[in-house]
Amino acid sequence: MKKFNISVWLVIIALFTGLQTYSQESNNVIGKPDLKLTSDVMTPEVLWSFGRAGDIQLSPDKSTLLFGISYYSIKQDKGNRDLYSINLKSDDMQRLTETPFGEYSAQWRPDGNKIGFLSAESGSMQLWEMDPDGSNKIQISKVDGGITGFKYSPDQTKVLFTKEVKVNPNIHDKYPDLDKTTGRVLTDMMYRHWDEWVDTYSHIFVADYNGNQLSHPIDIMEGEPYESPMKPFGGMEQISWTPDSKTIAYTCRKLTGVKYSESTNSDIYFYSLADKKTLNKTKGMMGYDTNPVFSPDGRFVALESMERDGYESDKNRLFVMDLRTGEKTDYSADFDQNAHGLTWTDDSKHIYFTSEWHGSIEIYRLNLKKSKIEEITKGVHNYGTIIPNGKNLIATRTSMSKPLEIYSVSVKSGKAKPVSHVNESLLNQLTMGKVEARWVTTTDNKKMLTWVIYPPHFDPNKKYPALLYCQGGPQSMVSQFWSYRWNFQMMAANGYIIVAPNRRGLPGFGTQWNEQISGDYGGQNMKDYFSAIDSLKKEPFIDENRLGAVGASYGGFSIYWLAGHHEGRFKAFIAHDGIFNLEQQYVETDELWFANWDLGDPFWEKNNKTAQRSYANSPHKFVDKWDTPIMVIHSAKDFRILDSQGFAAFDAAIIKGVPAKMLWFPNENHWILHPQNGILWQREFFNWLDKWLK
C-alpha cells in the first residue's frame, strides 16, 4: 500500500474512531497508562497501551520539537491525542495539552510565537492557537462543517485550509419532499472510495489571517468535482506555499467517474493569489505527481513523480523543477529505488529523503550541484519524517521490536541517539524476540531476504510452530515496521516463529524484482513463499508438522491461493481482507487502475493472454483442493476489497466441509482501528492458530 501522511490520517482516524469525542458519561482524559506488567511478553492489551507518537515539527529557531502522542482506552473503546514538546538543548519534555477533545496537525506559526493545531473542542474540527508553553489557547477559525488541515503562509498574512465541500446535488436536493429516504441513484463509478461514500470533495481554501482569526475565505477549487489532498491517503504534504506567499501548489487528479477510477495521473497545480488563475505545472507527466516542496530560496520545487499512468506502485522518482526556466530534472534516473518525504536544507543545496532498501527504510541525501545521491544511514530500522537541523537530522524511527520514537541523526556518521522516550517504561518491562535476516535461495536461483522472528526466551532445543507471513500491497516491502495489528513481536510472544519473506513484487530490491508480480498473480511470488517456508522448516527448532500461514489484503489473496496449492505443508490458515474471486474483484473494486495494471485488464478480454493467466489463477478456482482449516476476517466498510469476498471464501470452506471460522466487523475498513475490535482480532487470531498448531 502506498505511503500516506500521518498528520492527516490521524485526523481521519479521529473522526472515524471518535478519538476527539468528549464523553458526557466520563470526564476522564485518556493519557499515558501507568502499567506494571505481570509478564515480560507481549499481550494484545499491552500492544494497545503503547503511546503512538508522530507528526514532528521543529520550531523556527531550531530549539524545540513539537509532536503528538495518542493513547487508547480499551474500556472506553477510543483514544485521545495530546501535544508535547522537547527542548533539544536540555532534553526536557513538556506536555502542552490535556483535554478530552484531542489535538491534531500541530505546527509552529512562522514567527515561532504560537502553535496552531486542530481541535474539536467547539464541536467540529477548527484551528486553534496557543503559546509555545501550552497557555493562552484560543479558537482561530469558525468554519461551517469544520476543517481537515491547514498551513500558514510564510509571511503569516494568510492561512490555507482544507474542508469537505458538496459539489454535486444529492437525492434530497432532487426530491426535497423525501427528506427521510436513504436511496442513492448512481450514474458513474467512484461513488465510493476505500471506506466512504463519495458525497463531498476535499477543497482548498485561503483566508486572511490577522493573528486572532480567519476572514474572507476563498475556495480556490470552487465548483470543481475534484479533491485535494487526494483520497484516501493524501495529506497536507500534497499542498505547499511558495516562500514569497504568492502561490499555492497543490496535488490533484482532475478526473471523474470511470476515468478517475482507471487513472493515477495526478498533477501539480499552481494557484496564483494575485490573479486567481490556476496552472498545471506537470502536464504531460502521466503518473502520480505529488508532494511539491519549494526550496527556501524560491527557485526550485521538488516533487515525487511516477512515470506511468495506471501503475500505483511505479518507481517514485525525485524530480526538481527550475521555476525560472521550467526545466524538470529526474535526479533519481540512475537510482533504482524510490524516493519519499523530500525535505530541503536551509541553503537550498541538498534534499533529504527516505528510501526502501533490503528490508529497511534509510535516509539519503541528494547533492543538487553534483547530481549525486548518498546514503546517510544503515541499519535494521525504518526511518520516517526527516527535519534538517544543522549537522544533525531530527527523524522518526521504528523497528519490528520498537514502536515509533524520535531520534537525532548525525549527517556525517549516520549514527542516531534517541530524543524521545515515549514507550521506554513499557519496553523496559518486555522481552522482545530476536529478529534475524536470512537470505533464502528461490526456485529461480535468486537470493531473497526473509526475516525470521523468534519467540522471547527462545530455546534452540525446543520445537516451535511457525507462521509464514504473507505481505499485502502487493508491492509493499516487509520492512522494519511496527504494526498494531500485524505485529511480529505479538505473534512471537504467543510461541510462534515468524517467517516473513520479501517475495517477488516488493520494493527495495530493484525495479525488476518489484515489477515481476504484475500479471503474474499465483506465479513466481507464490513459489517464493514456498522457498521461504521450505528452507526454514528444515531448522531443528521448527516443527514442520505445525506450520501455519497468515496474511491480509494481497496477503489474504495469497492465503486463499495457498489453500489450494500447498500440498499439505500447512495445518492452518488465516486470511484478512483477501481477494477470493479475481473476476468478482474486478467489477467490485473502487480503483480500477490497480486491477487493470496488475491483472492485465478485464476478465472478458479473451484474447489478452496476461489477463486470462491472471484470472485462471483466481483462488476460487481451486477450492476443490481445500482441505485445511481456514479463518476468514473481513469488514463491512472495506470498499477496496468488499466483504463479499470474505463471505464467499468462508461459505466455500463450509460447503466443502473444511473447518472454518469467520470474524466480521460492521464498523471497520481495510484495517482494524477500534481498541476493542483490535483486541478481539488478536484473541480470535491466536485462538484459531493455537487450536490447530499447538
Q: Does 553 qualify as catalytic in the annotation?
A: yes
Q: Does 336 qualify as catalytic in the annotation?
A: no
User: Which candidate in 553, 558, 614, 618 is catalytic?
Assistant: 553
Phi, psi of 546, rounded to the nearest 5 degrees? -135, 65
Q: In the block, which residue shows the cell 486553534?
A: 128
Average pLDDT over residues 361-378: 98
- The mean pLDDT of the chain is 95
Name the more confident of 1 and 177: 177
What's the predicted TM-score (pTM) here?
0.95
User: Which candidate in 340, 620, 670, 674 is catalytic?
Assistant: 670
Neighbour count for residue 676 (Cβ, 10 Å): 16
Where residue 32 falls among pLDDT bands split at 50, 70, 90?
confident
Candidate from 12-26, 144-158, 272-286 with smallest mean pLDDT: 12-26
Angle at 344 between CA 340 and CA 346, to 5 degrees: 160
Candidate from 14-18, 313-317, 319-323, 338-342 with smallest mean pLDDT: 14-18
Q: Please give the pLDDT value at position 4.
A: 39
| pLDDT tens digits, one per residue of 395-407 | 999 999 999 999 9
| pLDDT tens digits, one per residue of 194-246 | 999 999 999 999 999 999 999 999 999 999 999 999 999 999 999 999 999 99
Average pLDDT over residues 308-334: 97
How does DSSP assign 2-41, residue by residue?
Answer: ----HHHHHHHHHHHHTTTPPPTT--PPP-------SSSS
Residues contacting residue 96 through CB under 8 Å, at least 6 positions apart: 66, 82, 83, 84, 85, 115, 130, 133, 134
Q: Is 693's pLDDT higher than 90?
A: yes
Where residue 28 falls among pLDDT bands split at 50, 70, 90?
low
Q: Does 670 qualify as catalytic in the annotation?
A: yes
Q: Is 8's pLDDT higher than 70?
A: no
Using a 10 angstrom Cβ sphere, with 0-12 exposed, 13-18 middle and 19 or more buried, the burial of residue 191 is middle
| pLDDT tens digits, one per residue of 522-560 | 999 999 999 999 999 999 999 999 999 999 999 999 999
* Best CA proximity match to 304, nearest among 353, 236, 348, 359: 353
Residues above pLDDT 70, as percent of the chain? 96
User: Which candidate in 195, 638, 643, 674 is catalytic?
Assistant: 638
Q: Is 24's pLDDT higher than 50?
A: no
Q: In the chain, what are the domains?
A: 433-594+623-693 (3.40.50.1820)
Q: Please give the pLDDT value at position 578.
A: 98
Q: Is 19's pLDDT higher than 60?
A: no
Q: Please give the pLDDT value at position 30.
A: 84
Residues above pLDDT 90, as percent of the chain? 95
Where residue 459 falls among pLDDT bands split at 50, 70, 90?
very high
| pLDDT tens digits, one per residue of 169-197 | 999 999 999 999 999 999 999 999 999 99
| pLDDT tens digits, one per residue of 70-129 | 999 999 999 999 999 999 999 999 999 999 999 999 999 999 999 999 999 999 999 999
